[in-house]
Amino acid sequence: RRLDRRRTGLCVARLPTPLAQWGAPGSRRLGPSGTWGVIPEDVGAQVPEEPLLLAELKPGRPHQFDWKSSCETWSVAFSPDGSWFAWSQGHCIVKLIPWPLEEQFIPKGFEAKSRSSKNDTKGRGSPKEKTLDCGQIVWGLAFSPWPSPPSRKLWARHHPQVPDVSCLILATGLNDGQIKIWEVQTGLLLLNLSGHQDVVRDLSFTPSGSLILVSASRDKTLRIWDLNKHGKQIQVLSGHLQWVYCCSISPDCSMLCSAAGEKSVFLWSMRSYTLIRKLEGHQSSVVSCDFSPDSALLVTASYDTNVIMWDPYTGERLRSLHHTQLSPPMDDSDVHISSLRSVCFSPEGLYLATVADDRLLRIWALELKTPIAFAPMTNGLCCTFFPHGGVIATGTRDGHVQFWTAPRVLSSLKHLCRKALRSFLTTYQVLALPIPKKMKEFLTYRTF
């Protein structure tokens, strides 16, 4: 059914079907009796159900001829606490939407675990949707970590008349090289960062909450900004020969990965801002990258139709995931029909999602070489997981956002132990431990 949300100017569509129950090798899932059971590692998720479309958001304005340009949704993002969703809907507009959506559109069980929900209800009332007019085409979006004590100082500096409150920040990368910093709760513009000479394609905050922002641009550079110092530019990282498409900071804040229109990706130190190594293995331009939640893995996606899984500490190539077409292409003239656009890890680190030009969203289990499920989507550009799992958001060239069911699992104890250990141990430190070889292989993801 389709309903027109006059309050937002959005059209929302949803398929009212039950949620799929998924599983991955070694994980546990909810059974028919409501109890959690272990999925055998030799069979897990071989015949899963397809992702189901939960909701679709469309720009509320009519699609006139001159609206066909600049209407792309280049980026979508959830806030780290799951209370907000940011949607670059094209034509210089970003929508900030409280999550979850209206209850009739999102099934029970996907409510955001917002740490600010009580304060909002008690103090300012329920969060309101915001429309940010950025004045330029918006390419990149990034939320700051929540809550962030330094961000309260930033708020107080620009709003001395307002009592000290927690401040969630959204950074937007624009077509003219500018970066605009917004306060989410009010929609007010806080800072305007200048320095890039071309499109700011991607943005990433350090997960530690220090308000260090990394930007990637078509001017072939990455820039490091400190929002605690009035948005001071503290470093410029040069070395790429092509446009920089993507940047990702490891969850332990030790490494930065950047992907440009080149066959290699760069790994930088977030402590010294120097190049650690180049990872070479792709046969065409790399356009997307993401770290696993424990920082032990890095995935890169390329126009060569492959996702490569790396050990970022050693530079070793662990696995390649090849995207093959399910059926012959309708038009043989499109030689890049399976070119990849986006890749991302699930929050528990057991799954990957990829978007490709063959009009498919794919879900991959970490230890399997083929996708466990597919969903049809047209003109996909980007994807991201809800931070608490269960939902994937995808953006399209038409300016639409779609929300899909995603695997919701209770991780096995051994995966939780590996995740906890790898969050502070490098590969070299694991290999130096006086433990059996098979345990080292498991902890370093060499059991594929």
**What does the pLDDT profile of the chain (448 residues) look like in tens digits?**
333 343 344 544 444 333 333 444 444 333 332 223 333 343 343 445 678 899 998 887 655 544 445 788 889 999 999 999 999 988 889 999 999 886 545 555 444 443 343 344 334 457 788 899 999 999 999 999 965 455 455 545 555 544 333 589 999 999 999 999 999 989 999 999 999 999 999 999 999 888 999 999 999 999 999 998 889 999 999 999 999 999 999 999 999 999 998 899 999 999 999 999 999 989 999 999 999 999 999 999 999 889 999 999 999 999 999 887 765 554 444 445 568 899 999 999 999 999 998 888 999 998 888 899 989 988 889 999 999 999 999 999 888 999 999 988 888 999 999 999 999 999 999 999 999 999 999 999 998 7
Any domain includes 253: yes
Residue 363 exposed, middle or buried by CB count within 10 Å (0-12, 13-18, 19+): buried
DSSP 8-state class, residue 281: -
CATH, residue 288: 2.130.10.10
| Residue range(s) defining the domain that contains residue 365 | 53-101+127-325+334-412
pLDDT of residue 178: 95
Q: Is 138 domain-assigned?
A: yes
User: Residue 273 domain-assigned?
Assistant: yes
Burial 259-291, CB ≥16 within 10 A → b, else e:
bbbbbbbbbbebeeeeebeebebbebbbbbbbb
Q: Quick one: pLDDT at residue 340?
A: 87
Give the pLDDT score at 59.
Answer: 82
Q: How many Cβ atoms are within 10 Å of 37's Cβ, its own excluded?
A: 13
Domain membership of residue 445 (yes or no) is: no
Question: Considering its fold, how many domains does the chain have in total?
Answer: 1
> Looking at the domain assignment, is residue 207 inside a domain?
yes
Can you state the percent helix, strand and coil of the chain, rounding each to 5? Answer: 10, 40, 50
* β partners of residue 394: 383, 402
Task: Evaluate whether residue 248 is within a structural domain.
Answer: yes
